[in-house]
Amino acid sequence: MRPSILYPLFCEIEALKGVGARYAKLIKNLCGEKIIDILFHLPYNITDRTATPPLIAAKDGKIWTGIVTITEHQPPATRKHPYRIYCTDGTSELVLVFFKAYPDSLKKNYPVGEKRAVSGKVEYFNGSWQMSHPDYVTFPEKLSEIARIEPVYPLTAGVTNKMLIKLGQEAWQRIPQLPEWLAPESLSDLEYISFQDALKRLHNPKNIADLSPSSTARRRLAYDEILSNQLALAFTRQKFKQKHGREFKGTGELSQKILSNLPFALTSAQETALKEIAADQQAPYKMLRLLQGDVGSGKTVVALLSMLKVIEDGAQAALMAPTEILAKQHFETITSLCQKQNINIGLLTGKMKAKEKREVYEKLASGEIKIIIGTHALFTESVIFKDLGYIVIDEQHRFGVNQRLALSAKGEKCDVLVMTATPIPRSLLLTAYGDMDYSKINELPKGRKPAQTVIMNTNKMPDIINALKKKLAEGTRAYWVCPLVEESEKSDLAAATERYEMLQKQFGAFVGLIHGKMKEVEKDAVMEEFKQGKKTLLVATTVIEVGVNVPEATIMIIEHAERFGLAQLHQLRGRIKRGNEAGSCLLLYSYPLSAVAKERLNIMKQTEDGFYIAEKDLELRGGGELLGTRQSGFTEFKLAVMPYHQDLLLKARDDAANIIKTDFLLETPRGKALKNLLYLFEQNEAVKTYLAG
């Protein structure tokens, strides 16, 4: 149960004055449903209304606030003309201009002969000052209420800044006096500002610096949010560690046979990862480990060798991939590596025929299939294993901490290994995967040659096509990636279908097309033709970003590369680093090119280090849609901004580890205050599941 002290903050926003059904829906879409969501919807700028000089000394194009006497109303001669109200402050004349005016309302609010306090932007026009649609009009005695620094909030259609200012002030007054949950040393670093005062300062800024990510108030709230995240992950990890698992030691017989038949030697990074995984498998607790490695670093081989240990001990292993293309590719790779070893390997995808699925179900239930590879179809109710001991998830789709825990329920005390081909910056690793141990493969197999990356303008298209003709004639295969499937009115991006038709005229039947809207059967047919060399140029959308494996393809052309994220460009370039031939990657751009886009392309030209690229991607995106994808399960903070608050993340991780060690059930005074913090940032699952004793 949520602590009762927090009830005022978790009321529906309709509890605030003036929020009826009409506005509630708009505000909920913008901020959220609870009063706490209003408080966490922070301003990003200010409007300075403190300039109140005599009107004659006002500044053109700036906001002026002051008291005027209404002298005359001038209704428009035609509908096209504005309604004008003439006023003066005694030093100069001011004309208030209204378009689409309501005369009765204006006469009521601006009665001739009376004084009013007004605020808005003034412009000098035809010898007098004009103010179009004043932001504020009120009685003279209330001048001090509008002559202030005003916060400016992110808005949506139908929600005004005035409305959010009013709601923010009322919401702030509902914050109860909460006991302090930060340790004294953390508080001293944050100038001893409390949670309540930090929110008050941000909703009542005195200057633009108050709203900066580096301001004390913002850092205080960021630390609160990050600490709640790290504490929840630490509880999850601790509870998972306490769950008794199975010990898989294996005989090493199958592993040795596979290793002796590999056409390459394992890298030292692969061997280190295998040792770390083996230590977990032999431990008495359940394994939950993240294996992160760059494109082509050999994660699949590591996953297979760790699965063999489980099979040697008589249990079954499952590998889940996010797409059918990738599942089939894993199936082909693992089947070829395991040939002659008498290991029954199965494939299960959602689009298989009912009869094929039934056969797989039967073989899984009987234990005949030792390794099953598939999509999320593996975890439907129909799938029953005889003895599932190990799950490997090739994680390119989004799922969170609690879903990770639920996946292991298919087997008795299952070990879980999650793989990602997107190198993850340290800050994201700690916030999204803090509940997991992790291994890193940061070394590519020997013999892999770097891809040459060239940046070119799209106006060089004829030269590019001529060069491509020569390369394809020599037996090379190439990808041509476009961002969209078809032209839309809102976008001028080259469409894959249109580019396919253009290239067909140049290369004839050797051109293939693949995109996300095609049926699975059609995609498979095109990919098969490309693998066999019947098609030598594959036009595609980013559907080929993940896992497509054609070693003969050594050319990658990415059109409108300036529109892609760094990580996405890196993933795409990885498609031409599957063999031992040096590849070429052409990044085509068109003007205008922003400074960020230019830097992104230059980074791609300078380095192939995926971990460095991931860090730069985080910096350039500044905490937006991180790594160019919303499918990777990365935590999205409301108040903390990476990389500005990365130092707080490392501090919070250590703080959370210390809390777990000294006060696991949160029973001390600080521990009880920390329960409020966990509920405040809606880490409810951590509280309910992991503090239950």
pLDDT value of residue 575:
82
pTM of the model: 0.75
> What residue type is 204 in one-letter code?
N
| Residue 466: exposure state from Cβ atoms within 10 A (0-12, 13-18, ≥19) | exposed
Residue boundaries of the structural domains of the chain: 4-46+157-199, 50-147, 452-607
Q: Which residues of the chain have pLDDT under 50?
A: 397-398, 489-493, 623-634, 693
Summarised one tens digit per residue, pLDDT across range 102-120 is 899 999 999 999 999 999 9
pLDDT value of residue 386:
93
Do residues 506 and 480 touch, judged by C-beta distance below 8 A? no
Cis preceding-peptide flag for 592 (omega within 30 of 0) = yes
pLDDT value of residue 565:
82
Instruction: Dump strand ranges (E) for 76-206.
Output: 83-88, 93-98, 115-121, 123-125, 128-132, 136-138, 149-152
Domain made up of 452-607: CATH architecture: 3-Layer(aba) Sandwich (3.40)
Encoding tokens for residue 525? 């047919």
Summarised one tens digit per residue, pLDDT across range 398-413 is 455 655 655 666 666 8
pLDDT value of residue 664:
86
Q: Which of 436, 129, 185 is nearest to 290 (CA)?
A: 436
Could you tell me whether strands 584-589 and 553-558 are parallel, antiparallel, or unpaired per DSSP bridges?
parallel
pLDDT value of residue 489:
43
Protein fold of 50-147: OB fold (Dihydrolipoamide Acetyltransferase, E2P) (2.40.50)
